């Protein structure tokens, strides 16, 4: 079963080219170690939130841009094996020593997809989200998002993934739980929607938000706290 390692980082806008070189070199190693896909997406439409947002999640400074990225593996076991190889490979240490951003504020974790729907096609834009969901609501949340995904793909999305926190460590400075102010009984969902372009995404969301299927009854809305959901739009800069 597919396993996802998800990352969110704050990168100085002036370091975009350096970051892409860094990410490209790292991606080659991740692929060598077993990753089936590596994606890096540069912040484009990342709004400030009233309670939580991506910038707060990584304590971004005014001159920094949010990067939303993930690695896909064939299984959790494959991801674990890749991690062991990384820890003993001097090339990883060299890349890590030259990071063009503050790695101490990067958040990361491992997630097991609950839902993956795809129609295929090249990704030209991506919406990323972090959602706090009570652990006991996992099944009901999965059923709800399956309904949402149907609507998203009807209006142009080409791939949608909702992944449940599996190995999400606490960080010294930042982490996923703090990003969404998760309670002890909550888990973080790492989610993204792929679109063929930003134009298709913008037009699609207008239709999505006008569709009554996106507005379930009051009981369903209690499944998670949408006010603490973190979200934003990103332009892919690397997809291998």
Q: List the domains of the chain with CATH numbers.
A: 3-239 (3.30.70.100)
pLDDT band at residue 182 under the 50/70/90 scheme: very high
pLDDT at residue 193 is higher than 90: yes
pLDDT band at residue 181 under the 50/70/90 scheme: very high
Using only C-alpha atoms, the chain has a radius of gyration, in whole angstroms, of: 17
- Among residues 180, 191, 176, 96, the alpha carbon closest in space to that of 146 is found at 191
pLDDT in tens, 89-136: 999 989 888 899 999 999 999 999 999 999 988 999 999 999 999 999
pLDDT at residue 30 is higher than 90: yes
pLDDT at residue 219 is higher than 90: no
Identify the H or E element spanning 113.
strand 107-118
pLDDT band at residue 222 under the 50/70/90 scheme: confident
pLDDT in tens, 151-178: 999 999 999 999 999 999 999 999 999 9
Q: What is the mean pLDDT of residues 182-187?
A: 97
Structure-model confidence comparison of residues 87 and 12, the more confident one:
12
The predicted pLDDT at position 218 comes to 60
Q: Please indicate, yes or no, whether the overall pTM of this predicted structure exceeds 0.85.
A: yes
d(C-alpha 198, C-alpha 40), whole Å: 16
pLDDT in tens, 225-238: 999 999 999 999 99
- CA-CA distances (angstroms) from residue 49 to 18, 179, 220, 230? 29, 12, 23, 8
pLDDT in tens, 36-85: 999 999 999 999 999 999 999 999 999 999 999 999 999 999 999 999 99
The predicted pLDDT at position 216 comes to 75
Determine contact, residues 26/100, Cβ cutoff 8 Å: no
d(C-alpha 236, C-alpha 122), whole Å: 11
- Among residues 168, 185, 174, 171, the alpha carbon closest in space to that of 132 is found at 185
């Amino acid at each position: 079963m597919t396993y996802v390692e998800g990352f969110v980082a704050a990168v100085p806008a002036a370091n975009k080219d350096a970051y892409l070189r860094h990410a490209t070199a790292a991606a080659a190693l991740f692929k060598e170690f077993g990753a089936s896909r590596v994606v890096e997406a540069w912040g484009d439409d990342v709004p400030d939130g009233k309670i939580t947002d991506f910038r707060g999640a990584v304590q971004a400074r005014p001159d920094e841009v949010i990067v939303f990225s993930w690695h896909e593996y064939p299984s959790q076991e494959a991801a674990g094996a890749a991690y062991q190889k990384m820890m003993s490979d001097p090339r990883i240490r060299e890349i890590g020593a030259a990071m063009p951003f503050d790695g101490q504020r990067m958040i990361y974790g491992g997630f097991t997809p609950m839902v993956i729907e795809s129609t295929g096609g090249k990704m030209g834009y991506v919406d990323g989200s972090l959602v706090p969901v009570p652990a006991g609501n996992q099944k009901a949340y999965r059923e709800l998002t399956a309904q949402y995904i149907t609507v998203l793909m009807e209006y142009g999305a080409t791939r949608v993934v909702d992944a449940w926190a599996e190995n999400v460590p606490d960080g010294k400075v930042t982490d996923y739980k703090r990003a969404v102010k998760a309670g002890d009984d909550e888990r973080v969902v790492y989610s993204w929607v792929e679109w063929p372009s930003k134009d298709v995404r913008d037009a699609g969301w207008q239709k999505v938000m006008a569709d009554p299927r996106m507005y379930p009854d009051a009981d369903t809305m209690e499944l998670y706290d949408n006010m603490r959901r973190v979200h934003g739009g990103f332009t892919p800069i690397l997809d291998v």
